[in-house]
């Protein structure tokens, strides 16, 4: 999905990494294929531009191999903000530092639906699995979906540091370290998340979505308070 801590996980897998087709997904603004790092058949979606041959290769690969997929997820507003600032250089607002102008662009021109529809557009489309049919474990912040061909672990990015090592070994018998979640520390980004709050229509759109209701239902009351305008 991108901007969810996947790169910190990749670092912990170390020597298992090798270059083959990795992940799948369209970046929210550039409409290019997301790819990550394939680790002995374990796919970790990340972000890198690709061409049609990569899409074709991935489809062939995922349809003919027993595949394990690790998908970190993040609550939708925080994920969208992080993505916006990560790709800020491609936007007309790339040189703007006024927070209210940035907020206006973020609300009106940024593609928020990409995050909300990612599982339907990518995992369901390419793997044939509707993740919303599987109950999410809020205590572990994780769900494991194994249909005998595709084996998927979906984990909240906030639970990566505390739970990833235990869960990956429990389900896949792989030893990994607990990654350190890398925080974005750009001054403008930190100012934005510290000072900016959003109107009710936007908070409702994000937190009434299927994505938020399924994976973050246990956090929604606090998240609404966190991001809503007073």
Tell me which residue range forms the domain holding 203: 6-227
Q: Is residue 1 part of a domain?
A: no
pLDDT digits (tens, 9 = 90+) for 105-122: 999 989 999 999 999 988
Q: Could you tell me the sign of the dihedral formed by the alpha carbons of 198, 185, 80, 219, in that order?
A: negative
Q: What is the model's pTM?
A: 0.76
Q: What rounded mean pLDDT belongs to the chain?
A: 75
In which band, very low, low, confident or very high, does the pLDDT at 72 lie, cut at 50, 70 and 90?
Answer: confident
Q: Stretch 135-157: mean pLDDT, rounded?
A: 91
* 142-146 and 42-44 beta bridge pairing: unpaired
In total, how many domains does the chain have? Answer: 1
Residue 31 in any domain: the answer is yes
Residue 69 has a pLDDT of 79
Q: Give the three-state DSSP class for 202.
A: helix
Q: DSSP code of 133?
A: G
pLDDT of residue 192: 95
Instruction: Return the H-helix or E-strand segment holding 109.
Output: helix 99-109
- pLDDT score for 6: 52
Largest CA distance in the chain: 52
Instruction: Give Cα 9 to chain centroid, integer Å.
Output: 13
The pLDDT of 54-60, averaged and rounded, is 59
Which residue has better confidence, 201 or 51? 201
- Compute the distance between CA of residue 102 and CA of residue 20 in angstroms, rounded to an integer: 38
Q: What is the pLDDT of residues 3-44, one digit of tens each?
A: 444 555 555 554 443 332 233 332 333 223 333 444 344 444
Residue 39 sits at the vertex; the CA angle it makes with 129 and 135, to the nearest 5 degrees, is: 30
How far apart, in Å, are the Cα atoms of 12 and each of 6, 16, 76, 128, 211?
A: 10, 9, 25, 29, 28
Give tens-digit pLDDT for 74-102. Answer: 999 999 998 888 877 666 777 888 999 99
204 belongs to a structural domain: yes
Measured CA to CA in angstroms, residue 81 lies from 17, 51, 185 at distances of 29, 26, 13
How far apart CA 67 and CA 61 sit, in angstroms, is: 9
Decide if 142 is inside a domain. Answer: yes
| Average pLDDT, integer, range 210-216 | 98
């Amino acid at each position: 999905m991108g901007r969810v801590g996947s790169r910190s996980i990749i670092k912990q897998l170390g020597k298992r990494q090798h270059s083959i087709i990795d992940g799948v997904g369209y970046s929210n603004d550039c409409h290019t294929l997301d790819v990550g790092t394939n680790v002995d058949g374990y796919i970790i979606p990340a972000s890198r531009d690709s061409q049609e041959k990569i899409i074709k290769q991935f489809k062939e690969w995922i349809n003919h191999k027993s595949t394990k997929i690790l998908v970190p997820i993040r609550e939708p507003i925080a994920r969208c903000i992080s993505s916006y600032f990560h790709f800020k250089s491609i936007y007309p607002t790339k040189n703007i530092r006024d927070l209210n102008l940035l907020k206006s662009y973020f609300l009106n021109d940024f593609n928020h639906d990409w995050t909300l529809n990612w599982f339907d557009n990518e995992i369901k489309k390419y793997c044939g699995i509707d993740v919303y049919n599987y109950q999410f474990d809020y205590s572990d912040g994780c769900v494991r979906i194994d249909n005998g061909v595709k084996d998927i672990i979906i984990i909240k990015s906030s639970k990566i540091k505390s739970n990833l090592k235990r869960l990956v070994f429990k389900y896949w018998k792989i030893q990994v370290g607990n990654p350190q979640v890398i925080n974005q520390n750009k001054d403008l980004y930190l100012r934005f998340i510290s000072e900016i709050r959003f109107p009710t229509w936007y908070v409702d759109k994000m937190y009434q979505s299927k994505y938020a209701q399924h994976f973050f239902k246990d956090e929604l009351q606090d998240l609404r308070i966190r991001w809503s305008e007073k």
